[in-house]
Amino acid sequence: MVNIILAGAGGRMGRAILNLLPNFKGLKPVGAVDAEGNPSIGKKVLDVTISSDLSKIIGKCDVVVDFTSAEASIKNLSMAFDARKAIVIGATGLNKSEMAELKKASERIPVVYSPNMSVGVNVMWEIIKRASDLLGKKYQIDIVETHHVHKKDSPSGTAKKMIELVASDQPVRVKSLREGEVVGEHTIIFSSPYEKLEITHRALSREVFAAGALKAAEWIVGRPAGLYNMKDVIECNH
């Protein structure tokens, strides 16, 4: 049995993870935290009470699953580092210095980090990398990403990863839309004067990200220190 603590329990992704967690019989929630002042503090979920201080309960767990903000994730990473606990981070919008801290911590503890925990999105990344390699620089590349109006970062972390995979010295045009309660849609378009290739991923619910994060939590415990991603998790599960 793997004991987990969920950071960001009161957020949209936190609630999705809590809803799905009972389906993962090998995982046991031993704690949940959120930011001081969050309305969820003090509420009981899955037999644990949501608190605001990870440091007081981190000793109970094998792995921390973090879906907070970039800044909060780095603070939680530091606590996991000190306690020598594995951590799964799904926060987006990490800057260069925060990514450097992530890499430094992974020298001592196992870390899974991905800007998108969806299995389908991670497969899409592999596909578009191959498409870019085959089509070369003769095709214009456009990315269109759509999310709910509450999403703070733009373009999304998923879109940034798509750009990283296809762009060397090739320009990529990105359009970011924020509409209603859209969970997440990403389309990449390769265009020439003669044809157009479109690859699209649509998340139908937040549970797709929750399932990926929980699979990562099962997988990471017992791994050597290192910085892992969802590709590592997927390849080991197939």
List the domain boundaries for the chain: 2-117+207-236, 119-203
pLDDT for res 163: 93
- CATH domain 119-203 topology: Dihydrodipicolinate Reductase; domain 2 (3.30.360)
pTM recorded for the entire structure? 0.87
Can you give the pLDDT of all 238 residues of the chain as single tens digits? 999 999 999 988 999 999 999 999 999 999 999 998 889 999 999 999 999 999 999 999 999 999 998 899 999 999 999 999 999 999 887 889 999 999 999 999 999 999 889 999 999 999 999 999 999 888 999 999 999 998 877 898 899 999 999 977 679 999 999 989 899 999 999 999 999 999 999 999 989 999 999 999 999 999 999 999 999 998 876 5
> What pairs with residue 198 in β-bridges?
189
User: Which are the catalytic amino acids?
Assistant: 147, 151
> How many other C-beta atoms lie within 10 A of the C-beta of residue 104?
12
Q: Which residues contact 133 (CB under 8 A, 6 or more apart)?
A: none
pLDDT at res. 199: 97
Asked whether this chain's domains 2-117+207-236 and 119-203 adopt the same fold, the reply is: no
- Domain 2-117+207-236 superfamily per CATH: NAD(P)-binding Rossmann-like Domain (3.40.50.720)
> What pLDDT does residue 33 have?
95
Q: What is the three-class DSSP state of 196?
A: strand
